[in-house]
Amino acid sequence: MTDVTIKRALLSVSDKSGLAELGKSLAARGVELVSTGGTAKALRDAGLEVKDVSELTGFPEMMDGRVKTLHPKVHGGLLAVRDDADHAAAMEAHDIGAIDLVVVNLYPFEATVAKGAERDEVIENIDIGGPSMVRSAAKNHRYVTILTDPADYDALIEELETQDGATGYDFRKRMAAKAFAATASYDAAISQWFAYADQGEMFPARRAMASSLAGELRYGENPHQKAALYVPQRVVAKGLPQAEQVQGKELSYNNYNDANAALELAAEFAGGDPAVVIVKHANPCGVAQRDNLLDAWHAALECDSVSAFGGIVATNVPLDGPTAEAICQIFTEVVVAPGADEAARAAFAKKKNLRLLITDGLPDPRRPGVTQVVIAGGLLVQTRDNGAISEEDLRIVTKRQPSEQELKDCLFAWTVARHVKSNAIVYAKDGATAGIGAGQMNRRDSSRIAAMKAREAAETYDWAEPRTKGSAVASDAFFPFADGLLAAAEAGATAIIQPGGSIRDEEVIAAADEHGLAMVFTGMRHFRH
């Protein structure tokens, strides 16, 4: 394919950043500038000569600007196959001039939605002429150059300098691909608004989603896998992709996955006493809440210091120097927090490979939305698990009533358990996890593993007894048999929190009564696979 010299350019942009500089560069090369409305005014204000699109079409802009570029003299100039005799004859017969360059970005539909505009304003910001020109130019990239992103203006200027006022076919192909992605993203935003906001559909018949590449990652879960981070076109909850990375090497796929798990759990304690979450392979291995962050760190670490090695740490409050110094005593991959003082930053700076991420607050754990999982041949889509319970929602089902402290421990254990891979068992005492069992194929084994970790912690720190003694235990789903409950009782748990709802509930309740345990039902399950 041959180079195409840019002789005429049509510019119509909502985002006017860099427009004047681009216009001056084109004009300096003798390019005729054709434009519309506010874009034409901005170019003229920059001292440039501009032809109105109405001069091209012979029709004025009308209907509040809804109709201005939807005309054969525009789209004929964009779509004509220039070395086709019939097309060339039609252009001559109808006085259609070729348009070599189109610079368009679209009405700010997403920004209009984001600011909470009324429906009529939202509808008015659905661009019609812009996407039409973009698609026409992109389709005919054999002859026409299309730009949809101000970030590409410099690349165009460089291309024109290199090619003596022309663009090469490879450049035009690359810009066309980007243009089609832009219109696809734009249409996806519109379809989502119509489906979810306007029509109130939860699962529309067609589901269009769009996202932008934030960057490629070193590799995926394993070195033979490739990976990248994408950000949705409309960010509902800020998280790791929007965080400031203060130091450390780039994050890997696993780092993002694990750090997000830690951040989501830390967010459960937003506005409460300082909390520390330690995660390994997307599972919490220690969680604690204390009057100060340093004590919370030590209590969380003591739950499972073996698993904490090479783990991820998240906090619900800004980091301080003493806590940062303590975290640096073990190998830690990533630390995530909604802030860090200078002493904390200085402490972490001594560990050059440790990644420190500062987030803009914490995500709302009760936010709406959907999650998805790719399966062979399809997608599984579900609403987020944003359900929550309070003490008032609990139903006491045993003869013994739980004490006030047992209820607090039950709710703390329950909060952690919803973030542990199923089957999940969490022992907690005095606002700290005492043992966590995750991902086992049966609940009894999860109970036993959690208790084993508690015994190992007691040996490590030379405690008189494991912290499961006198603890509360949470199960993410009901106990299908009494054996899981009995394993918890054997570990020393005195209170149990679980959803209930099994056909064997009466058997499990009877076992709890026999061992003098207090048990409460939540009526809500939190499977996490």
Q: How far apart are CA 176 and CA 182, in angstroms?
A: 10
CB atoms under 10 Å from CB of 126, counted, come to: 18
Q: How far apart are CA 79 and CA 77, in angstroms?
A: 6
Q: Which long-range contacts (CB under 8 A, 24 or more apart) does 51-56 make?
A: 53/10, 53/12, 56/97
Helix 19-28 with 153-162: angle, nearest 10 deg: 10
Integer angstrom CA distances of residue 452 from 233, 364, 406, 448: 45, 34, 21, 6
Q: How far apart are CA 396 and CA 302, in angstroms?
A: 31
CB-neighbour burial class of residue 200 (10 A; exposed 0-12, middle 13-18, buried 19+): exposed
Helix 85-93 with 72-79: angle, nearest 10 deg: 160
Q: How far apart are CA 265 and CA 258, in angstroms?
A: 11
What residues act catalytically? Answer: 139, 281
* Nearest to 54, CA basis, from 67, 42, 45, 44: 67
- Phi first, then psi: what are they for 284, rounded to 5°? -60, 135
Cβ pair 259, 251 in contact under 8 A: yes
Q: How far apart are CA 318 and CA 326, in angstroms?
A: 15
CB atoms under 10 Å from CB of 347, counted, come to: 23
* Nearest to 519, CA basis, from 477, 474, 484, 460: 474
Q: How far apart are CA 117 and CA 324, in angstroms?
A: 44
Q: How far apart are CA 43 and CA 276, in angstroms?
A: 55
Cβ pair 384, 370 in contact under 8 A: yes
CB neighbours of 116 closer than 8 A, spacing ≥ 6?
none
- Phi first, then psi: what are they for 154, rounded to 5°? -65, -40
- The residue type of 281 is H
SS3 state of residue 357: strand
Cβ pair 392, 504 in contact under 8 A: no
Q: How far apart are CA 287 and CA 277, in angstroms?
A: 5
Residues 162, 163, 166, 170: is their CA dihedral positive or negative? Answer: negative
